[in-house]
Structure 1
Amino acid sequence: MTLTLCISPCPNDVYIFAGILLGKVTHLELTFETIFLDVQAANEAALTGQFDVIKISYAAYPALRETYDLLSSGGALGRGCGPLLLKNGAEAFDPNAEILAPGIQTTAHFLLDFWLKTTKSTKRFLPFDTLYEELRNVPGTQGVVIHEKRFTYETDGLTLIQDLGEHWENETGYAIPLGAILCRHALNLSDTIAALIRESLAWADTHRTEALALCRQHAQDLTDGVIEAHIGLYVNEYSQDLGKEGRAAVEFFFSQQV
């Protein structure tokens, strides 16, 4: 059986799935056809149910419960790794001005509202790389950045307004649920896929040179230092298994959504 797999081209996803993508971790009855999408594009694709296994934002999952199982491995959850609210310029944050965000269904958008304590602010949603270019090039712009941009924003002259993940952790005490791996209910393969993902990550950890080379192929505009920092931040013990603490963080996160 061939399953459709949708992940992002970000280093953490490629690293976790490197064993599967390179054919080093296999299953006698399963093969994978992989598509790479931006996080919000994947959130929207999941709503149509077009992929068998897919990486989405945790904030998007409540609308997908009837179609997909939430897997315990392969996702992004942690501490000190949340989205950042930045500004082009040294002026103070203007709550009445437009804020750029990387997708209406993203965890970044949810955490922005959690910090603002309102859902009524003026926002414009863009793919995260397009958002960053506008933020970097248009003075006065305010926006939420994710992924590797947290490592480059100071070099690009942007100002930190608020670490939205840090605010979540301080307010709740929980780790930050960012991205989750889902498997279609009807396949009845969720435990099998979760085990394959764990095996794939274990392969990457023991064949790091090969895994990093694959990451570079999908993130050609990033330096080796940024790629490794990205993996170090977003790939952790929760990537192998959420565990009791991770599950508690996820359930609390869902309880805060309205």
Structure 2
Amino acid sequence: MKLTLGFSPCPNDTFIFDALIHGRIDTEGLEFEVFLGDVEELNRRAGAADLDITKLSYHAYAHLTNKYVLLDAGSALGNNCGPLLIAKKIIPAQDIPKLTIAIPGKLTTANFLLSLAYPKAVNKIEMLFSDIEGAVLSGAVDAGLIIHENRFTYQEKGLVKLLDLGEYWEQTTGMPIPLGGIVIKRNLPEEIIQKVNRCIRRSVEYAWANPNESESFIAEHAQEMDPAVRQQHIDLYVNQFSADLGLQGRNAVNHLFQVALQNGIIPVQNKPIFIPHAFIA
């Protein structure tokens, strides 16, 4: 059976999926047609249900639980890995709601966190995540919300951090921050859902055991060409939650949804968020 699979060109995703799509593991008879896209493009494609399996922001997933269900494998979730609000100079917290802020997409978890921290900050401009640093440097925007590799490079460009939104979440909730997850169409057979979850977990475990084998695939698609930065990215975003959310990961996702619901950011959920425990391998 062939399934369409979407993920980002960022090092954490290419690291996770390299073994799956290049025949390095047993895929139990499944084949995958791959689409690579920026996180907000993946969010939009998920909204149209274009892909059978896709990476997407947890914020976006909260609007799409009628179409997709969350796998336990493949997530980006953890501590000290959240998006950063940056600018050319330090700006007092009380002035941040007045700023024009570049964001990597309306339905990103980064924007969700910004909305929690600064609910009155509404002057936002959506742009590709890799263009945000440049927009701040040029003065096109007052501040930018950065994700992915830019977390490791903004200081080299003379930019300063206004707020670490991952720290904000962790300090206010005591939980790891759920950034993005892997979802699969609900209408696929249960057996296929189970297989896909197993295959992605197997791909993560293979990547950890054989880190050098994915290097060329990661480098081919990465925005950042410095191998050290790519490795920092992988080390930060690929962790035990990427192999299996487990109870702690599921609790963090549930809490994110509860907070978003309480703040009127997402609709009421009428479908189970996660695959049944019976499917977890």
Aligned residue among 93, 113, 134 for 1:111:
113
Question: Conserved in 1, the CA contact under 8 Å of 2:10 and 2:223?
Answer: no
Q: How does 1:162-201 map to 2 (within 5 A)?
A: 162-188=163-189, 189-201=192-204
Q: Which residue of 1 aligns with 2:154?
A: 153
* Identity among equivalent pairs (%): 39
SS of residue matched to 1:64: coil
Q: Distance in 2 between matches of 1:33 and 1:87?
A: 39
SS of residue matched to 1:63: coil
Aligned residue among 220, 223, 238 for 1:217:
220
Paired residue type of 1:247 = R
Q: Distance in 1 between matches of 2:223 and 2:252?
A: 33
List alignment gaps of at least 5 residues for structure 1.
none
Q: Distance in 2 between matches of 1:144 and 1:232?
A: 21
SS of residue matched to 2:63: helix
Deviation at 1:100, TM superposition (A): 1.0
Question: Conserved in 2, the CA contact under 8 Å of 1:18 and 1:214?
Answer: yes
Quickly say closer, same or farther: Cα 1:221–1:167, change in 2 above 3 A.
closer
Q: Which moved more, 1:167-176 or 1:21-30?
A: 21-30
Question: Conserved in 1, the CA contact under 8 Å of 2:20 and 2:27?
Answer: no
Q: Distance in 1 between matches of 2:147 and 2:36?
A: 17
Q: Distance in 2 between matches of 1:58 and 1:119?
A: 22
List alignment gaps of at least 5 residues for structure 2.
265-281
Question: Conserved in 1, the CA contact under 8 Å of 2:5 and 2:34?
Answer: yes
Paired residue type of 2:100 = E
Q: Distance in 2 between matches of 1:236 and 1:7?
A: 17
Question: Conserved in 2, the CA contact under 8 Å of 1:88 and 1:139?
Answer: no
Question: Conserved in 2, the CA contact under 8 Å of 1:99 and 1:122?
Answer: yes
TM-score, length-scaled by structure 2? 0.88
Q: How does 1:228-247 map to 2 (within 5 A)?
A: 228-247=231-250
Q: How does 1:1-258 map to 2 (within 5 A)?
A: 1-92=1-92, 94=95, 95-116=97-118, 118=119, 121-138=122-139, 141-188=142-189, 189-219=192-222, 221-257=224-260, 258=264
Q: Structure 1: which 4+ aligned runs deviate by more than 4 Å?
A: none
Task: Tell me the number of residue pairs that the alignment of Structure 1 and Structure 2 aligns.
Answer: 257
Quickly say closer, same or farther: Cα 1:207–1:147, change in 2 above 3 A.
same
